[in-house]
Amino acid sequence: MSSISIIGLGNMAGALAGRALAGGNAVEIIGRDPAKAKELAAALSGATVGTAGAVPAGDIVVLALPYAGAAAVVSEYGDALQGKVIIDVTNPVAPDLQGFVTPEGSSGAQEIAKAAPAGAHVVKAFNTLFSHVLAAGPAEGRPLDVFIAGDDAEAKARVSAFIESLGLRPMDTGKLPMARALENVGLLELGLMTHSVKHTNFSLGITLLS
């Protein structure tokens, strides 16, 4: 099992923390508002509360916060993230849901990696799952797929093991630049939500044909 620190106090943070605890992982909740962090940890039963800006207790640090502030948060932590695996769950989507706020040719994960210390390893994951779908877990007898991308093989192996502990299926898509494709999948889902499906009670996954 893994030791996880989750930076963020929103729906995605709660969903990931709940599944992580159910999977036997140690979970630390970190937020700028200590009272809200304590409230979330208490609701989860079993999570601890960390201090914003201090060295996270977890070997894996999940950025469960909006993309707009993610790189800045990583910069603020600086060397406190040295040696950590950083999971980026963000989708850097523009307000009009027609594109991205990242520089041309880059991705949110790559921009976050630029802000991280040299000894940290960023892995893109979970950005294609809506928080309530993640919280519910396996659907119709099959695990949800979690697409991942990252440059460090060991970091991806650790994230994959964590994903499996949640009862989900990791699907490696390649190096970190593939995060651009995964963020496009996130945008695709928002398009489906807006124009055809009309709700968020769905997930995209892989069916392996025999």
- The mean pLDDT value for 24-36 works out to 96
Mean pLDDT (the chain) is 95
Residue 95, pLDDT > 90, answer: yes
- pLDDT average, residue stretch 176-192: 97
Mean pLDDT of 85-107: 95
Distance of CA 63 to the CA centre of its chain: 6
**Which CATH number is 3-195 given?**
3.40.50.720
State residue 12's pLDDT score. 97
User: Has this prediction a pTM greater than 0.85?
Assistant: yes
| CA 60-17-208 angle, 5° bins | 80
Q: Does residue 140 surpass a pLDDT of 80? A: no
Per-residue model confidence (pLDDT) at position 31: 95
Decide if pLDDT at 37 tops 90: yes
Q: What confidence score (pLDDT) does residue 58 get?
A: 97
> Looking at 45-59, 84-98, 135-149, 179-193, which range is the least confident one?
135-149
Handedness of CA 112, 101, 151, 128 (dihedral sign): positive
Q: What is the pLDDT of residue 141?
A: 81
* Band (137; pLDDT cuts 50, 70, 90): confident
What distance lies between CA 28 and its chain's CA centroid?
15
Question: Where in the chain are the domains?
Answer: 3-195
Query: How much of the chain exceeds pLDDT 90, in percent?
Result: 94
pLDDT for 116 equals: 97
Tell me what pLDDT residue 1 has: 81
Q: What is the mean pLDDT of residues 66-93?
A: 96
pLDDT at 204: 95
> How many other CB atoms are there within 10 angstroms of residue 194's CB atom?
10
Q: Are 29 and 48 in contact (CB under 8 A)?
A: yes
- 3-state SS class at 120: coil
Average pLDDT in the 51-75 region?
Answer: 95
- Does residue 210 register a pLDDT over 90? no
